A and B are shown apart, each in its own frame.
Chain A
Amino acid sequence: MSIALENVTYVYAPGTPWEHRALSDVSIGVEDGDFLGIVGPTGSGKSTLVQHMNGLLFPSEGRVLVDGVEVGKDRKALRDLRRKVGMVFQYPEHQLFEETVWADIAFGPKNLELDDDDIADRVAWAAGAVGLDEEILERSPFELSGGQMRRVAIAGVLAMKGDVLILDEPTSGLDPRGRASLVGRLRELNRAGMTMIMVSHSMEDMAQLVNRIVVLSEGAVAMDGSKRDVFSRLEDLSSLSLDVPRVTHVMLAMRRAGLSVPLDVLTVDEGIDALAQLLRGKDSASQ
């Protein structure tokens, strides 16, 4: 499923003293099966942007197209849209409320008025997709660890079987093991064909998951490109108080010390390869 924002401007509370232009002339395309990352300083309009993608907000100017069809305010069309484009908010575990994990994941599908077998199938699939053990399903969500609760909340959105998943800071507050596990599950969902859009401050998440990155600054698109292109523009990023992955920092320090290493290095394994190549290159040159 593809999503396109065309010249979208969004103004909060227009005509009041609190009027605030949160998005200015934003144009972005998300292809079917893509994994798009959205980064930007706090207050740059990231959350406002993604809320346009499933009709939680409507542009003040411009338009939003989903699979080529303009998003309008027709109630039935909006209900269909929100089923297809699932949204996982920040700290979604705060919204868990059912007595068991199973009931929490089943809440959405039940509202779709599916039959019991269908609901059970969806719960089992969604729980599996985020790596929750079957024995956890009968427990209270409030007895789980932070990482497990996060996964229950994501499973609840997945159980709607949408085509697009939007995630706002999915790994925030998780420990390294919980984070690595969730990152692996998200990558698998994308590989299985789900279109994904992720808002995150974690450049490590971006490095490991997304294909493309849009950088927002004061409500406008400051950069839009492949993650390697974007992360190689270190100065532009730091002028926006944005970071690059830790490994990219290391490569930059190597460059400053006069070593010719590439800067488009995003993961630890790529970093080891790049440094090993540098050291090997020296050996072969000196022989």
Chain B
Amino acid sequence: MNTAGPPLIEFRGASYTYRRGEEGEIPAVRGVDLRIERGEFIAVVGSNGSGKSTLAKMMNALLVPTEGEVIVDGKSAADDDKVWDIRRTVGMVFQNPDNQLVSTTVEEEVAFGLENLGVPTEEMHEAIDRVLAEIGLGEVRHREPHNLSGGQKQRVAIAAVLAMQPECIVMDEATSMLDPRGRIDVMDTVKHLCREHNLAVVFITHFMEEALEADRVVVFSEGTIVADGTSSSVFGDGIDLNAVGLDVPVVTALARGLNERGYAVDRTITGLDDLVEAVCQLRSKT
């Protein structure tokens, strides 16, 4: 992670209000300040209706703030001339894989965005080969995306974003419709991209076990950030997650339960190995 230069994405008092100025206006995001650095793996958790999807769409200028500013790689989302640059820099993968795939083969799906950019054919083929190999989709390149498993479909969507050589990929509940195998495949893929390619990942989820995989966890509730830190600081005692409609991870719930029964177990444990070690230590004390 490089924190020396300016952040990749910066929210400066940014708000988004649906139907602004009309009857029944909905302030979905309210005065958010947030910095996302290059190469950072950040999880955003929040209940349904907390505004986290709106926040995600503000990261690549799908929504332009109604107040405040969002700056992506030095460019303001409010600047119409920069919208396409911003969308190349920050790619999005959405919840429902069936709603975002448009082509008849995996290869074409990956080519789609490149063709729109007018990338020369030769260069395009190289990019497709590289990206499909990277995501492990080489074997299914001629298949119809429609016939793939849910996890594979989402990896095709990731490959299509990756072909645009973005700096950041935003996953907007992109695992919520997948089976457990598919969830693991997608998570492994984005972790790999983050580590090996210094790609920033914003992972929006309400599976707490997935959020634990991130370097940093942001808790979103009623349009504002209510916690922001490492997973152990956020899932420890920092905030009442139940009050914002979320659960603590199971490992943390066990640690808390034992602590409340008088055993000397740290309430902020989030890692399975740490919990096992804590129990082993207590057990060996005489």
Residues of A bordering B, CB below 8 Å: 41-43, 145-147, 172-178, 180, 201, 203, 241-243, 246-247, 249-250, 253-254, 257-259, 268-269, 271-272, 275-276, 278-279, 282, 286
Contacts and interface: CB of A to CB of B under 8 A. Distances in A.
A145 B206 CA distance: 15
A246 B275 CA distance: 13
B53 to A, nearest CB: 11
Contacts of A178: 47-48, 245
B283 A253 contact: no
Interface in B40-79: 46-49
B48 A276 contact: no
Quick one: which of B46, B182, B247 has the most chain A CB within 10 A?
B247
Contact of A176 (B150, B246, B277): B246
B279 interface: yes
Contact of B209 (A246, A257, A276, A286): A246
A176 B245 contact: yes
How many B residues touch the partner, as a band? Answer: 35 or more
A119 B150 CA distance: 40
Interface in B160-203: 173, 176-177, 179-182
Given A176-B246, A201-B179, A253-B276, A146 B257 contact: no
Contacts of A180: 247
B149 interface: yes
Interface in B58-106: 95
B150 A42 contact: yes
Contacts of B95: 173
B263 interface: yes
Contacts of A276: 257-258, 261, 263
Nearest to B262: A276
A275 B180 CA distance: 27
A254 B48 CA distance: 34
A173 B180 contact: no
B116 interface: no
Given A175-B246, A272-B254, A279-B283, A145 B181 contact: no
Contacts of B208: 176
Contact of B180 (A176, A177, A242, A269): A242
Contacts, number: 101
B181 A241 contact: yes
Contacts of B286: 286
B177 A174 contact: no
B209 A279 contact: no
B239 interface: no
A254 B278 CA distance: 11
B282 interface: yes
A177 B277 CA distance: 31
Contacts of A268: 250, 253-254, 257
Contacts of B47: 175-178
Nearest to A242: B180
A175 B245 contact: yes
Contacts of A41: 179, 181
The 10 closest A-B CB pairs, nearest first, are: A272-B257, A177-B245, A246-B250, A176-B247, A175-B47, A175-B206, A201-B179, A241-B181, A175-B48, A146-B48
B251 interface: yes
A189 to B, nearest CB: 22
Contacts of A253: 272-273, 276
B4 interface: no
Contact of A250 (B173, B246, B254, B280): B254
Contacts of A246: 209, 249-251
A168 to B, nearest CB: 13
Nearest to B150: A42
B25 to A, nearest CB: 14
Given A147-B48, A175-B46, A253-B273, 15 more contacts: A43-B149, A173-B173, A173-B177, A175-B245, A176-B247, A201-B179, A241-B180, A246-B249, A246-B250, A246-B251, A259-B276, A275-B254, A276-B261, A279-B282, A286-B286
Contacts of A269: 257
B283 A278 contact: yes
B208 to A, nearest CB: 8
A250 B47 CA distance: 26
Contacts of A272: 254, 257-258, 261
A17 to B, nearest CB: 15
Interface string B250-272: 11011001100101000000001
A279 B48 contact: no
A254 B279 contact: yes
Given A145-B49, A176-B47, A278 B279 contact: yes
Given A176-B245, A177-B47, A268-B253, A42 B149 contact: yes
B16 to A, nearest CB: 18
A177 B49 CA distance: 12
A201 B279 CA distance: 30
Given A172-B176, A177-B47, A178-B48, A275 B279 contact: yes
Interface string B201-213: 0000010110000
Contacts of A259: 276, 279-280, 283
Nearest to B151: A42
Nearest to A181: B245
